[in-house]
Amino acid sequence: MKPVSKTLLNLSLGIVLGALIVGQFAFRERKNEALRTAGAATSVRVTAPALPAQLSFAAEAVPLELWDVRERLDREVLINYYNHANMLFLLKSAKRYFPVIEERLRANGVPDDFKYLCIAESNLVPTAISHAGAVSFWQFMNGTAPGYGLQTGKEVDERFHLERATDAASAYLKSAKAKFGSWTAAAAAYNCGQGGYNAQASYQGTTHYYDLLLPEETNRYLFRILAFKYLMENAEQLGFHVREEERYAPVPVRSIRVSSSIPNLAAFARQQGTTYKMLRQLNPWLRGRSLTLGNGKSYEIRLPATGSSEQKEF
């Protein structure tokens, strides 16, 4: 057999390598085309939810005709609209907590819209504690709470008591409304304090919230409240579907009044046919392992319902 010439060998190798390169290029193109086709088939069209033509807070009109007001609302609506998990959680939680909050706001003469301020404060999480130490639904600070009738301490902290804390928040809001002339300003003052709001209003020559330049958190605060109101009141139209059976129902409880100290709350819970865990969940204002009562002092404690005529829902 004649030996293959070097030139012929090089030519053959070149043809083979060329074919491999062309084949690899064609394979990559087919792969890329398949990925493009799959991407087109599964792509999601992301759109912004429509803003309302009109909106109010506590029967006070929001001036949406002002471009900065409309855009500030748009920002908070977008952020919360696309936080789907949290919106669904709020819609579920509202069934349990809104009736209690609404009843106490109504009893105190405070507009119903302030239940959305409660969401902006705590996300309806009873055990919420901020980095600054503000706690529970209405985020009262330890130093502020006693001035509004809330007991705080190692054993009892009424900032975690929904009804009592809502009453305290109502007192604060009514005081701010009387001072600044509107519920909108009262809501903003709940965030930055009456002193902080008054300082800005005095310098800028107006108490009107929408005309004030405030610290960034307070600038956004009312618009977060408005966003929650808009999204929750129009949930179905905006695509948030929660079946009734998926909502967190009020927990049936019975109440007993105790007028003597309880040295061991876990033992007390077992005597009442429940657990320390459940006792604390139904009474988050109980903060320790015992309850010390002075002369004439008493507390209402909630326990799991057992068919008693004292049953109520919480």
Helix, coil or strand: residue 156: strand
> Are 173 and 109 within 8 A, CB to CB?
no
For residues 306 and 240, membership in a common domain is answered with: no
Same domain, 99 and 82: yes
Residue at which a domain ends, from 223, 246, 269: 246
Give the pLDDT score at 44.
Answer: 77
pTM of the model: 0.82
What pLDDT is stored for residue 309 in this prediction? Answer: 43
Q: Quick one: which of 303, 280, 282 has its CA closest to 291? A: 280
Same domain, 240 and 307: no
Nearest of 217, 249, 213, 233 to residue 121 by alpha carbon = 217
Average pLDDT value for residue range 232-253: 95
Residue 228 and residue 80 share a domain: yes
User: Is 30 domain-assigned?
Assistant: no
Q: Which two tokens stand for residue 242?
A: 């929660």
* Three-state secondary structure of 44-64: CCCCCCCCCCCCEECCEECCC
312, pLDDT greater than 70: no
The DSSP secondary structure of 86-143, one letter per residue, reads HHHHHHHHHHHHHHHHHHHHHHTT--TTHHHHHHHHHTT-TT-B-TTS-BTTTTB-TT
What is the 3 state secondary structure string of 285-310? Answer: CECCCCECCCCCCCEEEEEECCCCCC
184 DSSP assignment? H
- Give the tokens for residue 287: 């903060």
Residues 118 and 240 in one domain: yes
Q: Which residue has the tokens 């005529």?
A: 309
In this structure, the answer to whether residues 275 and 242 fall within a common structural domain is: no
Q: Are residues 222 and 308 in the same domain?
A: no
Q: Look at residue 257 and tell me if it is in a domain.
A: yes
pLDDT of residue 313: 46
Q: How sure is the predictor about 262, in pLDDT bands with cuts at 50, 70 and 90? A: very high
Helical (H) or strand (E) element with 21: helix 6-42
Quick one: pLDDT at residue 154?
A: 94
Residue 71's CATH number: 1.10.530.10
The helix (run of H) or strand (run of E) holding residue 170 is helix 162-180
Q: Are residues 179 and 309 in the same domain?
A: no
- The angle at the Cα of 73, spanning 67 to 75, to the nearest 5 degrees, equals 100
The rounded radius of gyration (Å) of the Cα atoms in the chain is 30
**pLDDT at res. 3:** 52
Regarding whether 262 and 125 lie in a shared domain, the answer is: no
pLDDT value of position 2? 46
Mean pLDDT of the residues in the chain: 89
- Domains in the chain, number: 2
Residues spanned by the domain of 272? 252-313
226 falls within a domain? yes
Is 6 among the domain residues? no
Q: pLDDT tens-digit profile of 139-190? A: 999 999 999 999 999 999 999 999 999 999 999 999 999 999 999 999 999 9
Q: Based on the fold, state whether residues 78 and 207 are members of the same structural domain.
A: yes
Q: Looking at the domain assignment, is residue 4 inside a domain?
A: no
Q: Specify if 8 maps to a domain.
A: no
pLDDT of residue 14: 54
How many C-beta atoms lie closer than 10 Å to residue 17's C-beta? 10
The type of residue at 101 is I
Check whether residue 240 and residue 286 sit in a common domain.
Answer: no
Residues 269 and 180 in one domain: no
Last residue of a domain, one of 196, 215, 246: 246
Q: Note the pLDDT of residue 45.
A: 85
Residue 46 domain-assigned? no
| pLDDT over threshold 80, residue 314 | no
Q: Does the pLDDT value for residue 10 go beyond 90?
A: no
Q: What is the mean pLDDT of residues 227-232?
A: 98
Last residue of a domain, one of 214, 246, 278: 246
Average pLDDT of the residues in 216-229: 96
User: What pLDDT, on a 0 to 100 scale, did the predictor assign at position 46?
Assistant: 86
Using 50, 70 and 90 to split pLDDT, how confident is the model at 15? low
